[in-house]
Amino acid sequence: MSLLPVTLFGDKILRKKTSKVTEVDNKTIELIKNMFSTMHNANGIGLAANQVGADKAIFVVDISALEDYEDSKPMAIINPKIVERSEEKIKMEEGCLSIPEIRAEIERPKEIIITYQDVDLKEHTIKAGDVLARVMQHEYDHLQGILFTDYFTPEDKKKIKPQLEDIKNRKKEIDYPVSDDVSYQLR
């Protein structure tokens, strides 16, 4: 398994809606394994395929490093669709490997029902709550070309603009491999 460079704020692929996966071949399995390695190396708990330059509707999640979630199993989620969101919303701090060092309280539905396919393209439907729901919504947004900073107020966006420019222009020290330019995309 290898570490893949993480795309950063400003990279075009982060704003593109990802393509549906129609076949899971060895290349796709290798991508998923490398996504887990890349995510764990960067101390992340979720990672979308477009965050490593791949135009595929896939994200991986592993919240087992968090207190009270040690028994959680890592998950590879293919072609997800959030089919239901709870009325109840909660605020929780979020961060993003593609937008390092920026964190903020984001309000999202407390629970979701999500359908997805596994690596055998078998359909699943699960109800997720709390942290798992949070991570899944964050990663699902990535697949739609949405970043967590899109939820910021105009004032908060203005405050972080210099930091975002530094990230975009690769002027921030990051301790995991990152893409070297904004046109980066795996074929």
Within-domain flag for 5: no
Within-domain flag for 181: no
Within-domain flag for 116: yes
Within-domain flag for 126: yes
Least-confidence region, from 7-11, 100-104, 178-182? 178-182
Domain membership of residue 126 as a residue range: 12-168
Q: For position 51, what pLDDT does the model report?
A: 98
Q: What's the rounded mean pLDDT across residues 52-60?
A: 97
User: What is the Cα–Cα distance from 160 to 163, expressed in whole angstroms?
Assistant: 5
For residue 118, the domain's CATH number is 3.90.45.10
Within-domain flag for 182: no
Which tens digits make up the pLDDT trace of 118-141? 999 999 999 999 999 999 999 999
Position 69 confidence tier, pLDDT thresholds 50, 70, 90: very high
Average pLDDT, the chain: 95
Structural domain count of the chain: 1
Position 180 confidence tier, pLDDT thresholds 50, 70, 90: confident
Position 183 confidence tier, pLDDT thresholds 50, 70, 90: low
User: What is the Cα–Cα distance from 47 to 76, expressed in whole angstroms?
Assistant: 10
Position 114 confidence tier, pLDDT thresholds 50, 70, 90: very high
Query: pTM of the entire structure?
Result: 0.94
Rg (CA), the chain: 16
Q: Which residues are catalytic?
A: 139
Which tens digits make up the pLDDT trace of 71-94? 999 999 999 999 999 999 999 999
Within-domain flag for 179: no
Within-domain flag for 2: no
Q: For position 185, what pLDDT does the model report?
A: 44
pLDDT tops 70 at residue 184: no
DSSP 115-156: EEE-TT--EEEEEEEHHHHHHHHHHHHHHTT--GGGGS-HHH
Q: For position 181, what pLDDT does the model report?
A: 65
Within-domain flag for 40: yes
